[in-house]
Structure 1
Amino acid sequence: MTTFLRHSLWAVACFIAVCMTSVAHAQVIKVKQAELEKVEGAWLLNANFGIELPPGLENALKKGVTLHFVVQFELTRNRWYWFDEKTANVQRQVRLSHQPLINQYRITAGGLAFNANSLVEALRIAGTIGGWSVIEAAAIDAEKQYEAALRMTLDLGKLPKPFQVDALNSRDWSLSGEWLRFPFNASMTTVMGRKL
């Protein structure tokens, strides 16, 4: 084996190790509880997310950077003969900001605004979704099985440009959300995802 080939293999192995380490240390927004409830002609989503900010994001927030989160909900139906059918695909924006002069946090979501006196309270409010209409009852078949999927992520594209560079280069800025997937049947009146 030539020296060049040996060094190339070593470089590739180091790159893979670094990538795996950064993925392993990525902060995760976890779905703690999710529930779909049938109300009149729609299904409403109630959910709670556990959000933990890494130090870099917490410092940026306290210095006036607004954090934009995206809550995504999908409803799909498996088809053996073709791609999965996407019955519902909706998103909701949640904004979290800090007002240093009065040392208060502001959360806006779904046209509503809330204030919080501490970061812990602000993250709890930002991670709470209640009564969000995600599925029209007329769009689904009560006799078919579906899969519901839900997650919350930090929208890095809405950070100021210098912070976007930091987000790409530092795990201290990494904040990803895992998908929670659970079976859905429209004949039920309530569907539970996970409760921790």
Structure 2
Amino acid sequence: MLCALGLGAGPARAGASIELAELRVERADDGLYLSARLRFELPAAVEDALDKGIAVHFVADAEVVRDRWYWYDRQMASVQRYMRVAYQPLTRRWRLNTSSEPIVSSGLGVTLTQHYDSLAEVMAAIQRITRWRIATAAELEEGGRQSVRFRFRLDASQLPRTFQIGAFGDSDWVLSVERRVDLTQEGGR
């Protein structure tokens, strides 16, 4: 059952050249699912870093909140998806690691790893999020005003220190979009 269609559901803030083309939130018996389609071109500085073998990290996070008039909004559920893109020069292939925990250089931990032949293919995979469970049925409550906040960004804090210094204040390394979807009008379904 479709809960909300994110097109026009709220203001979207964008960084360099990122657009949230579609955002859907679906309520199912076992929880709440989010699907999103993003559109953006990587800036030249980011592509150059990738070509040189520097891994670039992206983070998608979703938060389900219940509005309260007397205090801060109550967070009902919060999930993150971390994505790491890296070029493998020996195999001339692109690697995408996806995890629900931050991906650190000391070890990949538990990640889903996929390989692609081109940068365009790996970016198409990053720009498409399909049926991501953002809340279980037990975490959702009936009644009250509820909303989902979705955010997608390039995480420059995961870059090597020398790139972080150069990237600080550079708009090429600022890619982000955020949108809030109101679930209240669909609460009765």
Same fold (TM > 0.5) = yes
Partner of 2:163, secondary structure, is helix
Q: For the residues of structure 1 that align with 2:139 and 2:131, how far apart are their CA atoms?
A: 19
1:157 aligned counterpart, secondary structure: helix
Among 67, 79, 87, which residue is 1:98 paired with? 87
Q: Which amino acid aligns with 2:81?
A: R
User: What residue in structure 1 maps to residue 162 of structure 2?
Assistant: 162
SS at match of 1:98: strand
Distance in 1 (CA, whole Å) between partners of 2:124 and 2:54 is 19
The within-5 A match list for 1:175-190 is 175-185=174-184, 187=187
Question: Shift in Å at residue 38 of structure 1?
Answer: 2.8
For structure 1, the residue ranges without an aligned partner over 5 or more in a row are 1-24, 190-196
Q: Higher helix proportion, which one?
A: 1
Q: CA deviation at 1:59?
A: 0.4
| Deviation at residue 63 of structure 1 after TM alignment | 0.5
- The 3-state SS of whatever aligns with 1:27 is coil
Stretches of structure 2 that go unaligned for 5 or more consecutive residues are: 1-13, 100-110
Structure having the higher Rg:
1
- Aligned AA for 1:141? E
1:108 paired to 2:120: no
Root mean square deviation, CA, Å: 2.1
Q: Distance in 2 between matches of 1:123 and 1:175?
A: 16
Structure 1: 4+ residue segments shifted above 3 A: 185-189
The structure 1 residue matched to 2:40, chosen from 51, 72, 90, is 51
Report the TM-score when normalising by structure 2. 0.78
**8 Å contact kept, 1:41–1:136:** yes
Q: CA deviation at 1:26?
A: 4.5
**1:28 deviation in Å?**
4.0
Give the TM-score of the pair, scaled to structure 1: 0.75
Structure 2 counterpart of 1:175, which letter?
A: V
